[in-house]
Amino acid sequence: MPTETFEFQVEARQLLQMMIHSIYSNKDVFLRELVSNASDALDKLRLEALRDDSLDADVSDLHIAIETDRQARTLTVRDNGIGMSHDEVVQLIGTIANSGTAKFLRDFKEAESTAAAEGLIGQFGVGFYSSFMVADEVTLLTRRAGESQGTRWTSTGEGTYTIETVDSAPQGTAVTLRLKPEDTDDQLHDYVSPWKIREIVKRYSDFITWPVRMAPEAADGADGAEGADDAPREPETLNSMKALWARSRDEVTDDEYHELYKHISHDWSAPLETIRLQAEGTFEYQALLFIPSHAPQDLFMQGYQRGIQLYVKRVFIMDDCEALMPPYLRFVKGVVDAQDLSLNVSREILQQDRQIQLMHRRLAKKVLSTVKDMMSAEPERYATFWREFGRVLKEGLLSDFENREAILGVSSFATTHDKDEPTTLRQYVERMKDGQEHIFYLTGESRQAIENSPHMEAFRAKGVEVLLLTDPVDEVWVQAEPAFDGKQLRSVAKGEVDLGTEEEKKEAATEREGRQQEYSDLLGWMTDRLSGTVKEVRLSSRLTVSPACIVSDMHDVTPALENMYRAMGQDVPQVKRILELNPGHPLVSGLNRAHAERGEGDGTGLQETAELLHDLALLAEGGELGDPSRFVRLMADRLERTL
């Protein structure tokens, strides 16, 4: 069959050189990657055979074989799993990290440490290429189960690779490495040595569900498959194949848990937290879950795959079981092993299965309770969790009403109380002033924009703490007006503000009543003149410095949320808002005097001033003007008159 030669793309070639020379501090991990890939292939074949009775594939003895040739200095990792077609080889092996090479390179260059760099590997599916750290040439021979022809992929890791179709190839995949010379100074060990292979498999892959076999060493010390009597010798199984989730906590080390996590997630960093759960009774299942130590790059991308593997009585069913974990916990990785589900269960059946729904609820509650415990017992680890996953966790406030209180309880927010440290709602409530009835917040694009908002003036003057919400999801979940510990969350940019003690509120009400009479004519006139853009003009109790601000009615949709809906293609009617005036500001008091003196006889002068006052308030909160050119013209005219 003809052999086709291809060139690596420039970015792919750069990435491959990094894999060989820069990224991996421990070269032993190449074998873990190859065994992990082989295990995945066996899982997929087992699942495919359960679902497709017509699949022409041998599943009688699924295993992983490691073969060495000391004279030729080659090492082969072979499996009889699902294999790959020619097109899959081109797509999956022929292109390095085809979905994110550029981003990987950028993130790698920005990584501050070797550990941080290694943590990027699994996110882009490039672990296979770690083989080139220890090999001068890598050959992959594969045949997909059910097909008659195989494919051979070969590369030296330089500028090119070759692909050819072969007539005779066993079912599955074999990766053969022509090893580099041993160099202990460069951490290049003797990877044809049986003891070294045993050590690596035991350390990294002992939990693999499938047997990892290796031909025993011959009696004279050389590798071989026959003993002194020339009788064939049985291959040695290197791994225990014990499911970690089925063993008691005392029998498993943290390192073993971490290796299982790395196998499931393809993440090179240790998990932030390990969660065990065993349910007994009418419906039995075991779960071993992991919270990663960092968020994957594609967490918010469409098509992000969940990380929960489903087993039934130790038999692998699927590796991204969405039905087991709510979307806002999609970052959680792990294994769930159920006892009473059907082996040929489908995704559609899972969505409707009552037992799956019960597991879904229990697992979500367990994760949230673990985060709560972390918050109180290990605040530094919790801070890492919230920094990496807080934004996605808050999505649950929109969808999981049953756990809303629990989600709010483990959430942290930026606050005016401390410019560096976020606060929990529990801490906020404990710091609330006497007479304060609500938890106040303000949404915006950045902390700086929120802190400079006119809406914050009275709160700053009275020392009332305000949550500063800058994530896009915050605009949505706060609209439901959730409560925490009996305290409603209230936007400082909505409704009327009534701060202070009961005595101060009474004094403010008396003063406001007098001001209302003084400004009633101006307020009525401005409401009429600005009726096309505002529903009402009223006096403000939230302003101390700015002349005016724009607020929403208590149950109105905010402008930011309006824009969000429109960006999603939804037709949202324009909501008129309220213009509040600061009666203590010279501009507003001057406008009131001018209106009292000149009234309607002023022509357009006062009306333009009222229009400018509205536009200035809109700009102060970061809003967009309806007619920017008119605003510029009016401002230029007013500035000219001052010269």
463 annotated binding-site participant: no
Helix, strand or coil, per DSSP, at residue 117: helix
138 annotated binding-site participant: no
Planar angle of CA 636, 638, 641, nearest 5 degrees: 110
475 annotated binding-site participant: no
Question: What CA–CA distance (Å, rounded) separates 363 from 275?
Answer: 10
100 annotated binding-site participant: yes
Helix, strand or coil, per DSSP, at residue 588: helix
Could you tell me which of 279, 282, 384 has the C-alpha nearest to residue 324?
A: 279
Helix, strand or coil, per DSSP, at residue 548: strand
Place of tokens 């999505």: 395
30 annotated binding-site participant: no
Q: Find the Cα–Cα–Cα–Cα dihedral 90, 92, 96, 102, rounded to 10°.
A: 110
390 annotated binding-site participant: no
Phi, psi at 411, each rounded to 5°: -95, 150
239 annotated binding-site participant: no
Question: What CA–CA distance (Å, rounded) separates 36 from 58?
Answer: 21
Place of tokens 């709510």: 326
Question: What CA–CA distance (Å, rounded) separates 208 from 239?
Answer: 7
Interacting residues of 369 by C-beta distance below 8 A, sequence separation 6+: 406
557 annotated binding-site participant: no
Helix, strand or coil, per DSSP, at residue 383: helix
Q: Which residues of 432-451 are buried (b: 16+ CB within 10 A; e: fewer)?
A: eeeebeebbbbbbeeeeebb
627 annotated binding-site participant: no
Residue 388 tokens, joined = 């990496």
33 annotated binding-site participant: yes
80 annotated binding-site participant: no
- Do 214 and 236 form a contact (C-beta atoms < 8 A)? yes
Residue 545 tokens, joined = 């410095």
Place of tokens 């000391």: 70
Measure Cα distances from 334 to 9, 432, 599, 627 in Å.
35, 40, 73, 54
37 annotated binding-site participant: yes
Question: What CA–CA distance (Å, rounded) separates 89 from 387?
Answer: 38
Helix, strand or coil, per DSSP, at residue 453: coil
Determine which helix (DSSP H) or strand (DSSP E) holds 536, and give its type and residue range: strand 534-539
- Do 469 and 451 form a contact (C-beta atoms < 8 A)? no
Interacting residues of 233 by C-beta distance below 8 A, sequence separation 6+: 215, 216, 224, 225, 226, 227
Could you tell me which of 89, 240, 108, 109 has the C-alpha nearest to residue 162?
A: 89
- Do 198 and 238 form a contact (C-beta atoms < 8 A)? yes
Measure Cα distances from 307 to 266, 320, 385, 405 in Å.
10, 5, 17, 25
128 annotated binding-site participant: yes
Q: Give the DSSP letter of residue 227.
A: -
- Do 428 and 465 form a contact (C-beta atoms < 8 A)? yes
Sheet holding 315-318, edge to edge: 273-279, 285-291, 333-338, 307-312, 315-318
131 annotated binding-site participant: no
Known binding-site residues equal: 33, 37, 79, 84, 99-100, 123-128, 173, 347
Known binding-site residues for ATP equal: 33, 37, 79, 84, 99-100, 123-128, 173, 347
